[in-house]
């Protein structure tokens, strides 16, 4: 079993935004190991901008070693958890005193930053060479991609197909309506309550059939449907009874897995009743970092900080200048929310959180 020196051993499984900020925050307070199948953090809310502007990914894809300098990185997948160690697919057994699970969603991405940047170059070439583009899925990813392409490439025919009755169903209908209006103002053809048979164009016809019998001509397509949570592997571990019906880990008010005094969960995989957004994951990371420092310093559990979900705020970018924003007091669409998010996609702020130049 691998272990370190006199400091308490902390293992973080998952290097998304929550896991990365946590690791950076406690790297000098613990004997720390980060486990992730890739070598970099990707700022997720910048992914769609990177497709239309590949150079944007240079700032949004960050090697772990750029900000995590005092600890071990194991580039592998965690496959099991016991009472005192984490096992990885490549055979590592890493002992822990405290464990933090932050595995997010099951994204199939390359291992290295270089490969990831090449991916964005290829995606950009795909967009540039197409005259007509089909986007499948009207959640935040599909809506943002349609906004990005229609803004940067207004001459291209963009069609978005969504099986639900409205776009952006995870937030309120006012925001959905504003998003729909903005997309249509950008000449995006939005088709609701339809699905697409992606195999229908496998004959090279470039004609995709929908569930209502329509045919959509497109030179290429992008599938922007929901990616599953990366928690299925926990069904074979000591935490198998801690998952709810949606595959989320049940946590207490301190973001500890319920019934466990030394295992925490942060980010989208928790059952905290809130919108699963990046700023919530960042708050999770800072709170658990604070609680771990307290515990590792000999503090009492009764002094730990309690997590309280913040106000329900959601923003969806629609190109470089426009966005839809849902606040507790109002829902806005257009240039005002666009000024908040759409220029830099919060990349500079996130890099600052990691101690990097914006």
CATH superfamily of 9-37+76-107+227-310: FAD/NAD(P)-binding domain (3.50.50.60)
Burial class (CB in 10 A: 0-12, 13-18, 19+), 69: exposed
Cβ atoms within 10 Å of 105's Cβ, excluding its own: 17
State whether residue 271 is helix, strand or coil: coil
| pLDDT score of 205 | 81
Write out residues in the chain with pLDDT < 50, as ranges. Answer: 4
| pLDDT score of 203 | 76
Give domain limits for the chain.
9-37+76-107+227-310, 113-226+313-347
Distance CA 12, CA 101 (A): 6
The answer to whether 289 and 25 have CB atoms below 8 angstroms apart is yes
Distance CA 344, CA 49 (A): 9
Burial class (CB in 10 A: 0-12, 13-18, 19+), 90: exposed
| pLDDT score of 202 | 78
| pLDDT score of 5 | 56
| pLDDT score of 356 | 97
- The CATH number of 113-226+313-347, from 3.40.50.720, 3.30.70.3270, 1.10.357.10, 3.50.50.100, is 3.50.50.100
Cβ atoms within 10 Å of 186's Cβ, excluding its own: 17
Same fold, 9-37+76-107+227-310 and 113-226+313-347: yes
What are the start-end ranges of the H helices in the chain? 17-26, 47-52, 57-60, 113-129, 140-152, 173-185, 278-296, 335-341, 347-353
| pLDDT score of 261 | 96
The DSSP code sequence of 91-115 is S-EEE-SEEEE---B-----SSHHH
| pLDDT score of 128 | 98
The phi and psi torsions of 59 (rounded to 5 degrees) equal -90, -25
In degrees, rounded to 5, the angle at the alpha carbon of residue 219 between the alpha carbons of residues 217 and 222 is: 100
Distance CA 116, CA 119 (A): 5
Cβ atoms within 10 Å of 351's Cβ, excluding its own: 19
| pLDDT score of 2 | 55
The pTM of the whole model exceeds 0.85? yes
| pLDDT score of 240 | 97
The answer to whether 113 and 167 have CB atoms below 8 angstroms apart is no
Q: Tokens in use for 43?
A: 């700022």
C-beta contacts of 290-297 below 8 A and 24+ residues apart: 291/254, 291/255, 291/264, 292/10, 292/26, 292/29, 292/30, 292/98, 292/100, 292/264, 293/26, 293/29, 295/98, 296/7, 296/8, 296/10, 296/29, 296/30, 296/98, 297/29
What are the start-end ranges of the H helices in 269-325? 278-296
The phi and psi torsions of 337 (rounded to 5 degrees) equal -65, -25
User: What are the tens digits of pLDDT across the range 219-248?
Assistant: 999 999 999 999 999 999 999 999 999 999
The phi and psi torsions of 348 (rounded to 5 degrees) equal -60, -45
| pLDDT score of 164 | 97
Distance CA 109, CA 8 (A): 32
């Amino acid at each position: 079993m691998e272990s370190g020196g006199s400091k308490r051993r902390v293992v973080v499984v998952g290097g998304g935004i929550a896991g990365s900020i946590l690791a950076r925050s406690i790297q000098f307070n613990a004997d720390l190991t980060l486990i992730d199948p890739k070598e970099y953090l990707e700022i997720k809310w910048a992914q769609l901008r990177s497709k239309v502007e590949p150079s944007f990914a240079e700032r949004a894809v960050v090697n772990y070693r750029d900000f995590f300098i005092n600890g071990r990185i194991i580039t592998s997948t965690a496959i099991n958890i016991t009472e005192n160690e984490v096992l990885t697919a490549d055979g590592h057994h890493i002992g822990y005193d405290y464990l933090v699970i932050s595995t997010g969603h099951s994204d199939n991405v390359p291992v290295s930053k270089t490969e990831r940047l090449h991916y964005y170059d290829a995606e950009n070439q795909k967009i540039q060479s197409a005259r007509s583009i089909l986007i499948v899925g009207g959640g935040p990813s599909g809506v943002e991609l349609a906004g990005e392409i229609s803004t940067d490439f207004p001459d291209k025919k963009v069609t978005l197909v969504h099986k639900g009755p409205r776009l952006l169903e995870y937030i309120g209908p006012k925001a959905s309506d504003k998003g729909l209006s903005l997309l249509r103002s950008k000449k995006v053809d939005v088709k609701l309550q339809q699905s697409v048979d992606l195999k229908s164009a496998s004959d090279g016809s470039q004609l995709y059939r929908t569930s209502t019998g329509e045919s959509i001509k497109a030179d290429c397509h992008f599938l922007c449907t929901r990616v599953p949570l990366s928690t299925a592997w926990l069904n074979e571990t000591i935490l198998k009874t801690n998952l709810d019906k949606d595959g989320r880990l049940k946590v207490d008010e301190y973001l500890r897995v319920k019934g466990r005094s030394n295992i925490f969960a942060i980010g989208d995989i928790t059952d905290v009743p809130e919108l699963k957004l990046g700023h919530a994951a960042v708050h999770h990371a800072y709170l658990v970092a604070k609680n771990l420092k307290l515990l590792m310093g000999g503090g009492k559990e009764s002094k730990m900080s309690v997590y309280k979900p913040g106000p329900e705020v959601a923003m969806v970018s629609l190109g470089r200048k426009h966005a839809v924003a849902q606040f507790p007091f109002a829902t806005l669409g257009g240039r005002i929310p666009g000024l908040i998010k759409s220029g830099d996609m919060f990349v500079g702020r996130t890099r600052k959180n990691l101690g990097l130049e914006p």
